[in-house]
């Protein structure tokens, strides 16, 4: 997995290069609301953070199905308070029922993101972005990466319900996030496979219930400390072909992922079940797990700062 080593070296070089000493606002807070980084869709904030790794296991839609193992990492860096860049890299292994194994890297992905809005009083955050999947940067010969690039404009929205009246206090810990993108390949036809390359709508979101918010903003139930760190959630990730899909299935594919995230002061751990929405999306129930690091809290005087224009505001952390 030499590309993982390359990205780790890149991250280490960034740690050394960045020497700013001011304090910044930590990860995705909107007022009293903390929106965690979810496992399949982005949270609606620019941040300094790293997922290392995200691991998924599932069964493919083939007949008979194969076992698929996915391992990925991503590294997010704020350039300014409102503009950030994320680098992502994944590796996949597919094991056929007869024991045949194939593996390879996907293409390197870069996302450029801009914070449009943070409204603390309404716990509302909006993020726009442009994601580029760089063709020919992965294992194209093994079929795990495309030879063409893909450009995806996206918008991410997060909304907490903390502005509801006290009569609805038990609903206030709920929050929703949504992500919508339109995937545009740089080629319209694959001459090696003699198929059209479709443009696709990629979308999803989460419904989450924050136990830290319940304790700090609604009521302290006196639960064991472990439970006060939990955010149960249901995440959905879907893809629908929209254009240039001649001769290809037009079926929407994706998964529904119930799970939970445990959040700490410097990292979070998440695990979700992966339930295919139809036969074309996979077979049986898979699993997805992630370790996510808050670099703005781990390295508040170096890598956790924007490269330019760092704030002098105190670092915001979760309280339990």
Residue 20, pLDDT score:
31
Residue 141, pLDDT score:
84
For 80-131, the DSSP string reads SSSEEEEEEEEEEEEE-TTS-EEEEE---EEEEEEEEEEEGGGTEEEEEEEE
Average of per-residue pLDDT across 227-242 = 98
Contact 174, 209 (CB under 8 A): yes
Residue 103, pLDDT score:
97
Q: Which two tokens stand for residue 176?
A: 């929703």
What would the pLDDT profile of 134-166 be if each residue is shown by its tens digit? 999 999 888 899 999 999 999 999 999 999 999
Share of the chain above pLDDT 90, in %: 82
What would the pLDDT profile of 32-86 be if each residue is shown by its tens digit? 999 999 999 999 999 999 999 999 999 999 999 999 999 999 999 999 999 999 9
Q: How many Å apart are CA 264 and CA 259, to the nearest integer?
A: 17
Name the residue ranges covered by the structural domains of the chain. Answer: 31-292
| CB burial of residue 121 (10 Å; 0-12, 13-18, 19+) | exposed
Helix (H, G, I), strand (E, B) or coil at 157: strand
Residue 311, pLDDT score:
57
Residue 243, pLDDT score:
95
Mean pLDDT, the chain, whole residue set: 90
Tell which residue, 76, 59, 107, has the closest CA to residue 10: 76
What would the pLDDT profile of 53-64 be if each residue is shown by its tens digit? 999 999 999 999
31-292 CATH:
2.40.160.40
């Amino acid at each position: 997995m030499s590309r993982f080593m390359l990205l780790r070296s890149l991250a280490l070089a960034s740690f050394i290069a960045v020497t700013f000493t001011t304090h910044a606002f930590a990860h995705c807070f909107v007022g009293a609301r903390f929106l965690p980084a979810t496992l399949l869709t982005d949270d609606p904030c620019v941040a300094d953070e790293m997922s290392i790794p995200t691991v998924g296991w599932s069964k493919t839609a083939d007949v008979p199905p194969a076992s698929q193992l996915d391992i990925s990492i991503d590294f997010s860096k704020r350039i300014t308070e409102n503009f950030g860049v994320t680098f992502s890299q994944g590796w996949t292994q597919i094991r056929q029922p007869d024991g045949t194994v194939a593996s390879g890297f996907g293409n390197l992905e870069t996302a450029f993101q801009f914070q449009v809005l943070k409204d603390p009083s309404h716990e509302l955050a909006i993020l726009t972005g442009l994601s580029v999947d760089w063709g020919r940067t992965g294992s194209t010969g093994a079929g795990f990466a495309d030879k063409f690039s893909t450009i995806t404009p996206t918008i991410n929205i997060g909304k907490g319900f903390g502005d509801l009246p006290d009569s609805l206090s038990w609903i206030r810990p709920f929050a929703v996030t949504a992500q919508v993108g339109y995937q545009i390949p740089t080629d319209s036809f694959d001459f090696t496979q003699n198929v059209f390359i479709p443009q696709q709508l990629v979308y999803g979101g989460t419904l989450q219930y924050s136990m830290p918010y319940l304790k700090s903003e609604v009521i302290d139930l006196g639960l064991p400390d472990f439970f006060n760190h939990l955010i149960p959630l249901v995440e959905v990730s879907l893809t629908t072909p929209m254009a240039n899909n001649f001769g290809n299935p037009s079926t929407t594919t994706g998964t529904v992922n119930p799970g939970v995230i445990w959040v700490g002061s410097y990292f979070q751990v998440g695990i979700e079940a992966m339930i295919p929405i139809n036969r074309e999306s996979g077979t049986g129930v898979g699993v997805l797990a992630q370790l996510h690091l808050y670099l703005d809290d781990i390295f508040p005087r170096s890598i956790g700062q924007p490269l330019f224009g760092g704030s002098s505001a105190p670092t915001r952390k979760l309280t339990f």
